[in-house]
Amino acid sequence: MHTIVEQKTKKQTNLFNRFAQAALKNPDHIAFKANGGKGKSYTYQEVLRLVRQLAGLFMTDEFTDCNEIGLISENRPEWGITYLAISAAGKTVIPIDANLKEKEIAYIFDHSKIKIIFTSVRFESFLVETYDDIKLYSFNEASPNYWVKSLNENVQIEESQANENDVAVLIYTSGTTGDPKAVELTHLNLISNLDGIQKAFSFAREDIFLSLLPLHHTFEATCGFLTPLMNTCTIVYARSLKSKEIIEDIKNNNVSIMIGVPLLYEKMYHSILRSINSAPKTKQILFKTLFNISGISWKTGGRLGKKLYKPLREKGGLNSIRMFITGGAAIPSHISKFYNYIGFDFVQGYGMTETSPVITANRPEDIKFGSCGIPLEGVNVKIDSPDSLGVGEIICSGKNITPGYRNNQKETANLIKDGWLHTGDLGKISDGHLWITGRKKNLIVSAAGKNIYPEQIEENLLGSNLIMETVVFGRTRQGKQGEDVCAVVVPDLEQLQVEYKINPEKPDIIKIRDIFDAEIKRINSEVTEHKRINSFEVQLEELEKTSTKKVKRFIYK
CATH number of the structural domain spanning residue 466: 3.30.300.30
For residues 381 and 434, is the Cβ–Cβ distance under 8 A? yes
9 located within any domain: no
Quote the pLDDT of residue 120. 95
Q: Are residues 464 and 414 in the same domain?
A: no
pLDDT in tens, 206-250: 999 999 999 999 999 999 999 999 999 999 999 998 888 999 999
Q: Are 384 and 393 in contact (CB under 8 A)?
A: yes
The strands making up 41-43's β-sheet, listed across from edge to edge, are: 41-43, 30-33, 234-237, 208-211, 257-260, 323-326, 345-351, 358-361, 374-375
Beta carbons of 200 and 178 less than 8 angstroms apart: no
Q: 46 in a domain, yes or no? A: yes
Nearest to 391 by CA among 334, 455, 333, 484: 455
Residues 527 and 386 in one domain: no
Residue 10 lies in a domain: no
| 448 pLDDT tier (thresholds 50, 70, 90) | confident
Q: Report d(CA 145, CA 162) in Å as an integer.
A: 27
Residue 524 belongs to a domain: yes
Q: Which residue, 198, 224, 258, sits at the end of a domain?
A: 258
Same domain, 403 and 464: no
Residue 3 has pLDDT above 60, yes or no: no
Indicate whether 354 pLDDT > 60. Answer: yes
Task: Report the b/e string of 154-174 with b at 16+ CB within 10 A.
Answer: ebbbebbbbebebbbbbbbbb
CA distance 205 to 421: 35
Instruction: Give the pLDDT confidence score for residue 7 in this predicted structure.
Output: 44
Return the SS3 of 547: coil
440 vs 425: CA distance, rounded Å: 5
Q: What is the CATH number of the domain that holds 140?
A: 3.40.50.12780
Residue percentage of the chain with pLDDT more than 70: 97
Assigned domain for 5 exists: no
Closest CA to 460 of 487, 497, 436: 487
- Mean pLDDT, range 154-172, rounded to an integer: 95
- Residue 413's H or E segment, with its range, is helix 409-415
State the pLDDT at residue 179. 74
- Residues 169, 288: one domain? no
Q: Does residue 448 share a domain with residue 310?
A: no
Last residue of a domain, one of 372, 407, 440: 440
Give the span between the Cα atoms of 74 and 72, in whole angstroms.
7
d(CA 407, CA 31): 36
pLDDT of residue 424: 94
Q: Would you state the pLDDT for residue 553?
A: 86
The confidence score (pLDDT) of residue 4 equals 46
On whether both 30 and 132 belong to a single domain, the answer is: yes
Integer angstrom CA distances of residue 366 from 194, 247, 292? 20, 28, 20
Residues 327 and 415 in one domain: yes
In this structure, are 96 and 241 located in the same domain? Answer: yes
pLDDT digits 0-9 by tens, 296-340: 999 888 899 999 999 999 988 999 999 999 998 889 999 999 999
> What is the chain's mean pLDDT, rounded?
93
Give strand pairing partners of 296. Answer: none
Report if residue 3 sits inside a domain. Answer: no
Let me know: does 506 contact 479? Beta carbons within 8 Å: no
pLDDT, residue 549, reads 77
Which of 175-179, 217-221, 255-259, 409-413 is predicted least confidently? 175-179
Distance CA 114, CA 293 (A): 58
Burial class of residue 108, CB neighbours in 10 A (0-12, 13-18, 19+) = buried
54 and 105 together in one domain: yes
> Does position 124 have pLDDT exceeding 70, yes or no?
yes
148 lies in a domain?
A: yes
Is 221 buried (19+), middle (13-18) or exposed (0-12) by CB count in 10 A?
buried
- Look at residue 278 in the predicted model and tell me its pLDDT: 87
10 Å Cβ neighbour count for 480?
A: 9
The domain tally of the chain equals 3
The answer to whether residues 205 and 243 belong to one domain is: yes
Q: Which residues contact 154 (CB under 8 A, 6 or more apart)?
A: 1, 2, 3
Q: Does the pLDDT at position 450 exceed 90?
A: no
Please tell me which residue, 474 or 479, carries the higher pLDDT value. 474
pLDDT band at 37 (very low <50, low <70, confident <90, very high): very high
Give the pLDDT confidence score for residue 9 in this predicted structure. Answer: 55
Helix (H) or strand (E) holding 16, with range, is helix 15-25
- Confidence grade of residue 292 (pLDDT, cut at 50, 70, 90): very high
Quick: pLDDT tens for 384-397: 999 999 999 999 99
Cα–Cα distance between 295 and 290 in angstroms, integer? 9
Q: Please tell me the distance from the alpha carbon of residue 534 to that of residue 84, in angstroms, as a whole number.
A: 51
**Residue 94 within any structural domain of the chain:** yes
What Å distances lie between residue 502 and 309, 348, 509, 514, CA to CA?
Answer: 31, 34, 9, 12
Phi then psi for 331, rounded to 5 degrees?
-120, 140
Same domain flag for 176 and 89 = yes
Residues 6+ positions from 275 with CB-CB distance below 8 Å: none
| Backbone torsions φ then ψ of 538, nearest 5 degrees | -100, 130
Q: Which domain-ending residue is among 243, 258, 273?
A: 258
Q: Report residue 82's pLDDT band, with 50, 70 and 90 as the boundaries.
A: very high
pLDDT score at 1: 37
pTM for this structure?
A: 0.89
Q: Does 248 lie in the same domain as 145?
A: yes
Whether 369 shows a pLDDT value over 50: the answer reads yes
Helices (H), 90-208: 102-112, 121-130, 187-200
Distances (CA, A) of 223 to 219, 244, 327, 426: 6, 24, 10, 24
pLDDT at 175: 53
Range of the domain at 519: 443-556
